[in-house]
Structure 1
Amino acid sequence: MSIARNTLVQSSLTLGSRILGFARDILLVAKLGAGPINDAWVTAQQFPNLFRRIFAEGAFASAFVPTYARTLEAEGPEAAQAVAQEALRVLFAFTAALTILAQIFMPWVLLIIHGGQADDHVHYNLAVLLTRITMPYLTCMALAALLSGVLNSGQRFILSSGVPTLLNLCLIPAALVSNVPEVVSKAAAVAVLIAGVLQVALLWWGVTRQKVRLSLIGWPRITPAVRRVMALAVPGTIAASGTQINIIVSQSLASFEQAAKSWLYTADRLYQLPLGLVGVAVGVAILPRLSRAARSEDHAGSQATMDEGIGLAMALTLPAAAALLVAPVFLIEAFFVRGAFLQSDAEASGGALFHYAWGVPAFVLIKVLAPAFFAREDTKTPMRFALTSVAINTSLGAGLFFWLNSQGQLGFVGLAIATSVAAWVNALLLGTTLAARGWYRPGPVLVSRTLRALIASGLMAGAVWFMVHNFQWVRDTIIDSRALAAAIVILAGGLIYAVAAFLTGAIRPRDITQALRR
């Protein structure tokens, strides 16, 4: 199956999940507003979101898949099943122990990521309670990641891409249980835990259907195969989660500014869309192919795979980034201003979204470039680059945050700037190192297509800017609904980009046809 088709499968299912996620966030933001209760809820989500993105969205799988796939190819299904079995038990034991420790020490753990609101005992204690409820999701996501890795190694992407939908299906009813913000936040935390259990159950069923029999019953053993997975997984997980660690750092600093966590979280909901729909999907889709090319020393195949993956990622990411750049407040206002979330909140959140937007291509490139290292079982190099980006994000973010505050401005905008700067540094380090080692250099066709995609994105951005500045006319003329009118603007922008991309040659019909048929 081609990269384009694998990515289409992943992105289509992810799109369905993100649409439901959008509905979920609109409901929750309207009920919780931007304030201490929503800040507590955002804090409680930090751990689940971090580990969902680290484990479920490819980082752990990037370390597990090459070992599992090699064993499957060289020694057969039974040996591969044994690797998965032992890794599963060790992973479960480790994450369960970590979860129990976190439950005990949660009031002190949250001082690290929510310390700015520790003096507000009522809402700080609420954050502790909510995070205790959501924390077992860590274990669920670790198990789900391994099960997804087994499925992905067999080129089975549908189930692993579809299970995140369960989280939204659980959270939407939770948002409707009450109009009391504190009650809604507690119901949502319970929904996260229920969703984690359901996701593991569904993936377990999928793996069983592939005739892979696993069991949690038994003492975990550190076998040579498990030791190999762990040696790759630890640095690989850190490497692939640099962006998410940067978000945690930003949220920790934001706790010193009331409602800043809520504003950053709302911006995060929008700029994470292209990352989840494109970056993660392409990264997961190319990893098995890169692993096979690395084992057979097929440099041409690896080069073609990377060119195809990056080209596809940029063709889909650049227009999204351009739209977020020219209409940040407009998009947040259209979808989130309702209930307790006010126009002033949209304007504040839009300031962060603007600075996240120019970092979006870097966020996606990291997801696409890192698998080139993982496929060669080099997880330490990307880990070093991720830690470098964390150091830049922490120092620059803290400096900008407190400097802006000293100037009487909202400091949290500086956190968004630092996150994007750190992402570009990480992406450039990955790209230049691949080139220096002779593992990958962008081909001339990719460079040409990317430049054409930039031109097409610029044309689309101009059109979107014009529509946004005539938005009231759109509402009055087409439909009297802010959200639906905004959706029309977005669809019109997408259509304009598609036409511009075909006219400039950024995308050619025969390329799409060939990619889907391969």
Structure 2
Amino acid sequence: MSVLKNTLTQSTWTLGSRALGFLRDAVILAKVGAGPVADAFFTALMFPNLFRRVFAEGAFAQAFIPVYARTLEAEGPEAAQKLANETLRGLLAVTVLLVIIAQVAMPWIMLVIHGGYRDDPVHFPLAILLTQITMPYLSFMALAALLSGVLNSAGRFGMSAGAPTLLNLCLLVAAFFGSDNFAVSKSLAVAVSIAGFLQVCLLWYGVSRQKVRLHLGLPRFTPGVRRVAALAIPGTIAASGMQINILVSQSLASFEEGAKTWLYSADRLYQLPLGLVGVAVGLAILPRLARAARSDDQAGSQGVMDNGVGLAMALTVPAAAALMAAPFLFVDSFFSRGEFTSGDAAQTARALFHFGWGVPAFVLIKVLAPGFFAREDTKTPMNYSLISVVVNTLLGASLFFWLKSRGVAGFPGLAIATSTAAWVNAGLLFLTLNRRGWYRPGARLVQRLVSVLIASGALAALLWYLASISETVQAYTFGSKFLAALAIAAGGAGAYGIFAILFGAIRLSDIKGARRA
């Protein structure tokens, strides 16, 4: 299957999940607003989201797929099934142990990630309780990651991409249970763990349809399991870099009431292109890169990487341009209702602008890292990920407290640091691939990237103008600012399609390639 076709399969399901996620977040924010209770809940939700992005959105799969695929190809289905069973049991044992340790240590963990509320006798214990309730999601996501890896190795991307929809559905339903925001937050926390269980059930069913029979049991750390672990642990740390950066930012944000909620709301918007494009392209190109690496096909590897980078940037740079050109328009239209005010939207927009210019780097990390994973080098991305964590921590803390010392909000500094760290990570990955001779962009790709920048610049100018007349647009959308924002976004998307074809950012051959098997 073509990279574009696999990407579209993954992205279509992810788009549906994210669209439902926006509805979910709009309801949750309307119910709990932006304040201490919301900050406590989003701290609890941050944990499962972190592990979902680390495990379920590629990190474990990128380490597991090459070993599983090689075993399947060299030793046959029975050996591959045995490897999956052994890895499943070991992974479950490790994550259950981590969950138990976290449950016991949660009061001390919360001092680190929610320290700004440590003297609050009401909301600090609430954050501890809610996070203890959501922690089992870690084990469920670890299992879901392995099951998704089995499905992706078989060329089945749809079910693994659609599984997160269950989390959105469960949270959406749970948001309507509770008489006040305290009760609603507890209902939401319970729904997180229920959703994790349902996702595992769905993916287990999908794997069984591929005639792969998995069974729970006592763990045995066989050579195959040790091989997967040797790749998965560094790979997981590598993929955790951005999530650790978010964790650091959230920890510092706890020292400003409401800042966690503003950052979370901005995160929901800028993560959309990452989930739709970066993760999808990364997963789509990994099997092809692994095959090229095994056969020492440098030309094939070069072509896959050029295709992946070009496609990712053609879809991501315009998204970044949109987030930077009209951040308040989108935040206010999507989230401002109930307890979440336009003032909260304005604060969220400040963070979203600075996350926006980091979006291409977030996606490039997902696309470039498979160039290492396909060659079973997970340590190099891990090292660069850790460097980005150091950059984010030092820069984020410096900007946060410097801005506060100037009498202004410090949380925009956290968004600046996160985006800067992402560019450092992406730059190191690219330079190393280039130095080792594993990837050098072709001239055609360079021309395409220039075209993407020009087309995205035209889009940004158009969206900035449309945002400035949004009230006029609203008059033609039944007075609804939500529909006005959708109309502006749709108009921008259509305009970018025209700009992209005119300037050569998207080739018609790419669109035709989506039909190829």
TM tier relative to shorter chain: over 0.9
Task: Report the AA paired with residue 88 of structure 2.
Answer: L
Asked whether 1:24 is paired with 2:17, we answer no
CA–CA separation in structure 2 for the residues paired with 1:104 and 1:69:
38
- Structure 1 runs (4+) greater than 6 angstroms displaced: none
Q: Alpha-carbon deviations, 1:135-191, whole Å to 9, x = none?
A: 000000000000000110111111111111000111111112235111111111111
Q: How does 1:230-379 map onto structure 2 within 5 Å?
A: 230-379=229-378
CA–CA separation in structure 2 for the residues paired with 1:260 and 1:510:
45
CA–CA separation in structure 2 for the residues paired with 1:498 and 1:408:
43
Contact 2:5–2:513 (8 Å) recurs in 1? no
Contact 1:116–1:256 (8 Å) recurs in 2? yes
Q: Which residue of 2 aligns with 1:203?
A: 203
Q: Alpha-carbon deviations, 1:244-282, whole Å to 9, x = none?
A: 110001001111111110110010010000000000000
CA–CA separation in structure 2 for the residues paired with 1:103 and 1:279:
33
Contact 2:4–2:510 (8 Å) recurs in 1? no
CA–CA separation in structure 1 for the residues paired with 2:214 and 2:509:
43
Contact 2:10–2:157 (8 Å) recurs in 1? yes
Task: Report the AA paired with residue 149 of structure 2.
Answer: G
Asked whether 1:110 is paired with 2:110, we answer yes
Length-normalised TM-score, structure 1: 0.99
Classify the secondary structure of the residue corresponding to 1:352: helix
Q: Alpha-carbon deviations, 1:72-91, whole Å to 9, x = none?
A: 00000111111111110000
Task: Report the AA paired with residue 138 of structure 2.
Answer: L
Q: Which residue of 1 aligns with 2:88?
A: 88
Q: Which residue of 2 aligns with 1:394?
A: 393
Q: Which residue of 2 aligns with 1:486?
A: 485
Task: Report the AA paired with residue 392 of structure 1.
Answer: V
Task: Report the AA paired with residue 303 of structure 1.
Answer: Q
Q: Which residue of 2 aligns with 1:409?
A: 408
CA–CA separation in structure 1 for the residues paired with 2:477 and 2:201:
45
Classify the secondary structure of the residue corresponding to 1:516: coil
CA–CA separation in structure 1 for the residues paired with 2:177 and 2:42:
19
Q: Alpha-carbon deviations, 1:18-67, whole Å to 9, x = none?
A: 00000000000111111000000010011101100000000011111111
CA–CA separation in structure 1 for the residues paired with 2:175 and 2:145:
27
CA–CA separation in structure 1 for the residues paired with 2:93 and 2:477:
57
CA–CA separation in structure 2 for the residues paired with 1:163 and 1:434:
33
CA–CA separation in structure 1 for the residues paired with 2:179 and 2:341:
17
Asked whether 1:164 is paired with 2:168, we answer no
Mean Cα displacement is larger for which, 476-485 or 290-299? Answer: 476-485
Q: Alpha-carbon deviations, 1:279-321, whole Å to 9, x = none?
A: 0000011111111111111111110100111111001001100
CA–CA separation in structure 2 for the residues paired with 1:372 and 1:360:
20
Classify the secondary structure of the residue corresponding to 2:122: helix
CA–CA separation in structure 2 for the residues paired with 1:478 and 1:332:
18
Q: 5+ residue gaps in structure 2?
A: none
Once the two structures are TM-superposed, the CA of residue 329 in structure 1 deviates from its matched residue by 1.3
Classify the secondary structure of the residue corresponding to 2:114: helix
Q: Which residue of 1 aligns with 2:193?
A: 193
Contact 1:327–1:468 (8 Å) recurs in 2? yes
Mean Cα displacement is larger for which, 375-384 or 101-110? Answer: 101-110
Once the two structures are TM-superposed, the CA of residue 512 in structure 1 deviates from its matched residue by 1.4
Identity in percent: 65
Task: Report the AA paired with residue 506 of structure 2.
Answer: I
Mean Cα displacement is larger for which, 443-452 or 400-409? Answer: 443-452
Task: Report the AA paired with residue 231 of structure 2.
Answer: L
Task: Report the AA paired with residue 318 of structure 1.
Answer: V
Q: Alpha-carbon deviations, 1:364-384, whole Å to 9, x = none?
A: 000000010000000000000
Once the two structures are TM-superposed, the CA of residue 477 in structure 1 deviates from its matched residue by 3.0
CA–CA separation in structure 2 for the residues paired with 1:132 and 1:420:
30
Classify the secondary structure of the residue corresponding to 1:241: helix
Contact 1:359–1:423 (8 Å) recurs in 2? yes
Contact 1:137–1:192 (8 Å) recurs in 2? yes
CA–CA separation in structure 1 for the residues paired with 2:176 and 2:207:
34
Q: Which residue of 2 aligns with 1:176?
A: 176
Contact 2:477–2:483 (8 Å) recurs in 1? no
Classify the secondary structure of the residue corresponding to 1:121: coil
Q: Alpha-carbon deviations, 1:1-32, whole Å to 9, x = none?
A: 11100000000000000000000000001111
CA–CA separation in structure 1 for the residues paired with 2:170 and 2:126:
21
Q: Alpha-carbon deviations, 1:366-411, whole Å to 9, x = none?
A: 0000010000000000000000000000000000000000000100
CA–CA separation in structure 2 for the residues paired with 1:372 and 1:508:
24
CA–CA separation in structure 2 for the residues paired with 1:276 and 1:424:
18
Contact 2:92–2:139 (8 Å) recurs in 1? yes
CA–CA separation in structure 2 for the residues paired with 1:240 and 1:419:
14
Once the two structures are TM-superposed, the CA of residue 112 in structure 1 deviates from its matched residue by 1.2
Contact 1:31–1:179 (8 Å) recurs in 2? no
Mean Cα displacement is larger for which, 94-103 or 354-363? Answer: 94-103
Q: Which residue of 2 aligns with 1:144?
A: 144
Task: Report the AA paired with residue 196 of structure 2.
Answer: G
Contact 2:163–2:202 (8 Å) recurs in 1? yes
Task: Report the AA paired with residue 289 of structure 2.
Answer: L
Once the two structures are TM-superposed, the CA of residue 511 in structure 1 deviates from its matched residue by 2.9
CA–CA separation in structure 2 for the residues paired with 1:129 and 1:188:
12
Once the two structures are TM-superposed, the CA of residue 515 in structure 1 deviates from its matched residue by 4.4
Classify the secondary structure of the residue corresponding to 2:386: helix
Q: 5+ residue gaps in structure 1?
A: none
CA–CA separation in structure 1 for the residues paired with 2:49 and 2:157:
21
Task: Report the AA paired with residue 516 of structure 1.
Answer: R
Length-normalised TM-score, structure 2: 0.99
CA–CA separation in structure 2 for the residues paired with 1:161 and 1:350:
28
Contact 2:387–2:425 (8 Å) recurs in 1? yes
Once the two structures are TM-superposed, the CA of residue 510 in structure 1 deviates from its matched residue by 2.8
Mean Cα displacement is larger for which, 486-495 or 445-454? Answer: 445-454
| Cα distance change, pair 493–265 in 1 and its aligned pair in 2 (3 A) | same
Q: How does 1:447-458 map onto structure 2 within 5 Å?
A: 447-458=446-457
Q: CA RMSD in A?
A: 0.8
CA–CA separation in structure 1 for the residues paired with 2:505 and 2:318:
12
